[in-house]
Structure 1
Amino acid sequence: MNTPKVSIITVNYKQKEVTADLLRSILLSGYPNLEVILVDNESDGSDETFYCSHYPGLRYLYSPENVGFAGGNNLGIQASNGEYLFFLNNDTEISSGLIEHLLEGFADHQVGAVSPVIRYAENPTRIQFAGYTAIHPLTGRNSPLRQLPTESWSESPYFHGAAVLISRKVIEQAGVMPEEYFLYYEELDWSEKIRKNGFQILVAREVSIIHKESISTGKNSPLKVYYQTRNRIRFMKENSSLYGLFLSFFLLVSFPKNLLRLPEKHRNAFWLGCKDALVRKQFGWKNPVYFRA
């Protein structure tokens, strides 16, 4: 059996026990040719022994600054040696045979990235992701498909950032994960770049992971509202030929709707996201102190 070297890259941000669960699952997965890289965001490096106790041979990288989801993954890319790179959220867990099956998707050389089905950890019978719809040109939003596709391999316009296997040759052509977003929409932008370079994105119906969704940011936190609002505007400007139409809809419909319906903390985060995207044109990291009560 062909077992190319796979580099697993995961980014941790102050979630030691959650990340340890992932490392234990990787150890039990059984793939024989793995390199596991953990990027520890906003860390002093003192937790290296803890993580290595859960995965002997772990390559531990720490960043004194929080460089975000994309920045952390890019540090992992720079340090990696695998022919394929498997990006996993630290709040996921994998199972035996997953990696082998995902690699089968690359039998077609036009395939650039493969995601598994993603299930909710609290109820694995529920599907979080089995592909994505296209981004709507007016709203700048899309939706995950929550039913298994009929085909074993189905094409999707975007992969899910929580779990995706990408070949190194694709990254060399399309570039690394865009860091300007810091958090949210970066995997959609990266998907666009990969497809523009002529590669397909697949979802593997037969395998899945579990995902403890939004542990670091909170499922409906003001921080999440800020980044999703700001980055949705940036994504559409970078990738949509109908950006002017989107912006008109956003300002006339989405903007007043959100200011009316959101709770105060979330409304302030939404307003700040709009201001940073449209007026200040500031992207990257935002100090979380802005989003505290």
Structure 2
Amino acid sequence: MGRDRRAPARPLRGGRRDGAHPAARAIVAPGAVTVAGRDVRVAAVVVAWREPGATLEAVASLLASTIAFEPILCVAQEYEPDDLDALERALRGHEVIALADNIGFAAAVNLAMGRALAMGADWVLLLNNDATIDPTCVDRCLVEAARHHRVAAVGPAVAYAHDPSRLWFAGAAHSRRLALVWHRGHFARPGNVPASADSDYIPGCCVLVSAAAWRDVGPLREDFFMYYEDAEWGERARARGWHLRYLGELLCLHAMALSSGQDGSRLLAESAAYYLERNPLRYARDTPGPLLRLSRTAGVLTVWTGYNLTRIRPSQWATVGWAVAQGIRDGWNGTMGRRQADDRAPRRAGATGER
């Protein structure tokens, strides 16, 4: 599936940086922090599809963290040799997993999570390569997790990178009956960040995941390829008695789905339209029990499809509208994995992340 390219090792950083958040936990060893009276090891995973410049910015924000990750794992998909070399130089002492093909966000996360857990991580931060974090982000998330019982994941408030005055995520809801998902606090001002609370799911853009929960709940659904896998994982986690916590502090900026061509806009690009239509429908169709399956399927095909259709630019109805129709067809029939049209698509500049 790919090859590991590990940069020459050097000691990871330790100690607290000047100007760290006063609530940050003290580092006791590289990659280990003290939380609730015990030492925990924290790793980080960055999933990248092309766009090396954005990936380097995400990595730089991790390296500036008030804790030292052990290790940072970057899954670099479809990278040119020179870009891989630059990434390895930036991640000296950590690890780059180079893949010749785009295997999808879910599969890339599962690959890196397996590696991180095998190396002894207690918590793993998942970060999009089009996102950056505040230096105290992981510290604050660990503190939030320690305050509650059986926390599977914690995610902070996230704002748009192109407009930090607007929130992208401040908690999320997942309708059990209609299979609909939405972000709370969307487009709210950062001065009015909603308070911390339980969340039905935490988006994969920036989420600190418990290794114990991951082992109990299982990996992401790889057949989704990208989109909706975080909501589905959150439902499984909650069904097993875990809690997912939204942290009411703005600690992450997100460039927002550049991989699918949205570039911070609510308007859908062709690739995003396909997966956002197909995956919720497949989730609904996979529901055990005829009544709930009917309710979820109806919710997706009426409310969700209707909403997606309002997000198509008039000049792109022929392509994006057709992608929505293909998503309905494949979601209904169970044709999953990477969209065939994406397999034939040429490389293009400005594509980053999988969210």
Q: TM-score, normalised by structure 2?
A: 0.75
Match of 1:110?
150
State whether structure 2 residue 295 is matched by structure 1 residue 245. yes
2-structure distance, mates of 1:261, 1:211 = 20
- 1:203/1:13 Cα in 2 relative to 1: closer, same or farther (>3 Å)? same
Question: Deviation digits for residues 263-293 of structure 1, max 9, x if unmatched?
Answer: 11111101111111213x210111316789x
1-structure distance, mates of 2:302, 2:253 = 39
1:91-130 mapped onto 2 (5 Å cutoff): 91-107=130-146, 108-130=148-170
1:16-165 mapped onto 2 (5 Å cutoff): 16-43=52-79, 47-80=83-116, 81=119, 82-107=121-146, 108-135=148-175, 137-138=177-178, 140-146=179-185, 147=188, 148=192, 150-151=194-195, 153-165=196-208
For residue 169 of structure 1, report the CA deviation from its aligned partner: 0.5
For residue 105 of structure 1, report the CA deviation from its aligned partner: 2.1
The farther-off stretch of 53-62 and 194-203 is: 53-62
Give the 3-state SS of the residue equivalent to 1:124 in structure 2.
coil
Give the 3-state SS of the residue equivalent to 2:135 in structure 1.
coil
2-structure distance, mates of 1:201, 1:79 = 23
For residue 256 of structure 1, report the CA deviation from its aligned partner: 8.3
2-structure distance, mates of 1:117, 1:52 = 30
Structure 1, unpaired ranges of 5+: none
2-structure distance, mates of 1:117, 1:256 = 28
2-structure distance, mates of 1:261, 1:54 = 38
The one-letter code matched in structure 2 to 1:96 is P
The one-letter code matched in structure 1 to 2:237 is I
For residue 63 of structure 1, report the CA deviation from its aligned partner: 1.7
1-structure distance, mates of 2:167, 2:328 = 31
The one-letter code matched in structure 1 to 2:129 is N
1-structure distance, mates of 2:94, 2:209 = 20
- 1:110/1:249 Cα in 2 relative to 1: closer, same or farther (>3 Å)? closer
Contact 1:44 1:63 in 2 (8 A): no
Contact 2:75 2:112 in 1 (8 A): yes
For residue 33 of structure 1, report the CA deviation from its aligned partner: 4.2
1-structure distance, mates of 2:204, 2:174 = 16
Question: Deviation digits for residues 144-165 of structure 1, max 9, x if unmatched?
Answer: 11245653x3111111110111
State whether structure 2 residue 267 is matched by structure 1 residue 195. no
Question: Deviation digits for residues 165-213 of structure 1, max 9, x if unmatched?
Answer: 1110101100011101001000111111111111000011124200000
For residue 218 of structure 1, report the CA deviation from its aligned partner: 1.4
State whether structure 2 residue 212 is matched by structure 1 residue 169. yes
- 1:47/1:79 Cα in 2 relative to 1: closer, same or farther (>3 Å)? farther
- 1:77/1:261 Cα in 2 relative to 1: closer, same or farther (>3 Å)? closer
State whether structure 2 residue 272 is matched by structure 1 residue 224. yes
Match of 1:235?
283
Structure 2, unpaired ranges of 5+: 1-25, 27-33, 263-267, 347-355
Contact 1:101 1:207 in 2 (8 A): no
Q: TM-score, normalised by structure 1?
A: 0.89
2-structure distance, mates of 1:253, 1:154 = 26
- Paired positions, count: 289
For residue 254 of structure 1, report the CA deviation from its aligned partner: 6.6
2-structure distance, mates of 1:136, 1:272 = 25
The farther-off stretch of 50-59 and 167-176 is: 50-59
For residue 124 of structure 1, report the CA deviation from its aligned partner: 1.2
